Structure 1
Amino acid sequence: MKKQRPVNLDLTTIKLPAAGRASILHRITGVAMFFAFLFILWAWATSLSSESGFLLVQDVMQGVFGKLIIIGTLSALAFHIIGGIRHVIMDMGHWEELSSGTTSANVAMGIWIVLTVVMGVAIW
């Protein structure tokens, strides 16, 4: 029996609430940190292998690509921690209503943006 249900394949027409955006960002930053961890492992292993490896990693990290990787990694870590704290507080029974959940999501994303800008200015 075929079910008649609405199908919306145009993702640009879907408007997520703030809590939905915060939840998706929390998952995306988790995946981003996994891939950043691979870069960190490479940098760590290369820098400990020899003096030339250390100098190579130092040159990479002082370049534009390295700085973008550092800022991106710290930004992902910052939002993941902020979002994780928000989720823990929600698990304890707070901020579960629509208005408080929206407010907490907006505050978490605002803090994340401010921290990312501050870290970017400090690193660059």
Structure 2
Amino acid sequence: MVDSQQKVKSPKPVYRNIGLAQLIKYRLPWAGKVSILHRISGAALFLMLPFLLYLFDQSLASELSYQKFQALTGNVLVKIICLGLIWSFLHHFCAGIRYLLLDMDIGVEKLDANRSAIIVFSLGLALTAIVGLKLFGLF
């Protein structure tokens, strides 16, 4: 009788945490990637807020400070930083609209959620490319 009871027991499932080496191989769905990028873009916007306020102050204080602002933003490195901030804002904005729609139960099915995540990712990059072309004087 003891043997029959042992055969009925199933082995307990083993749950393992993902190690750092396994993170490279782990594939997130598009919704997960957009979610992580939404958090990163929000943190970048928050951390760069003093820089943005400084640029805003320099552009509005006086005519001389506006000329300093133009000289500062004429630097390629500052333009690249601004382009990163522009991407952060545009991605955060588009993903925020997606999350508002998800909160209203619009597009919560797996296929729709995947499609909307791809649209948000693509739209953020496309809008950033358009603004980047204008920023670098190519458009």
The two structures share one fold, judged by TM-score above 0.5: yes
Shorter-chain TM-score: which interval?
A: 0.7 to 0.9
Query: Who is 1:55 aligned against?
Result: 67
Query: Using the alignment, how far apart are the partners of 1:93 and 1:13 within structure 2?
Result: 32
In the TM superposition, residue 43 of structure 1 has moved relative to its aligned partner by 2.5
In the TM superposition, residue 54 of structure 1 has moved relative to its aligned partner by 4.0
Q: How many residues align?
A: 121
Query: Who is 2:15 aligned against?
Result: 5
- Unaligned residue ranges in structure 2 (runs of 5+): 1-13
State the secondary structure of the residue aligned to 1:13: coil
Decide which moves more: 31-40 or 77-86. Answer: 31-40
Q: TM-score, normalised by structure 1?
A: 0.86
Does 1:123 find its partner at 2:118?
no
Does 1:33 find its partner at 2:33?
no
Does 1:71 find its partner at 2:83?
yes
Decide which moves more: 69-78 or 51-60. Answer: 51-60
Query: Using the alignment, how far apart are the partners of 1:65 and 1:120 within structure 2?
Result: 13
Query: Who is 1:18 aligned against?
Result: 30
Q: TM-score, normalised by structure 2?
A: 0.78
Q: Quote the sequence identity (%).
A: 31
State the secondary structure of the residue aligned to 2:48: helix
Query: Using the alignment, how far apart are the partners of 2:102 and 2:95 within structure 1?
Result: 10
Note closer, same or farther for the CA distance 1:79–1:43 as it changes in structure 2 (3 Å cut). same
Query: Who is 1:101 aligned against?
Result: 113
The superposition leaves residues 44-101 of structure 1 with CA deviations (integer Å, 9 ceiling, x where unpaired) of 3455666654433321111102211221111111111100000000000111111110
The structure with more radius of gyration: 2
Decide which moves more: 34-43 or 107-116. Answer: 34-43
RMSD: 1.8
The structure 1 segments of at least 4 consecutive aligned residues displaced by more than 2 Å after TM superposition are: 42-58
Does 1:42 find its partner at 2:33?
no
State the secondary structure of the residue aligned to 2:27: coil
Does 1:86 find its partner at 2:108?
no
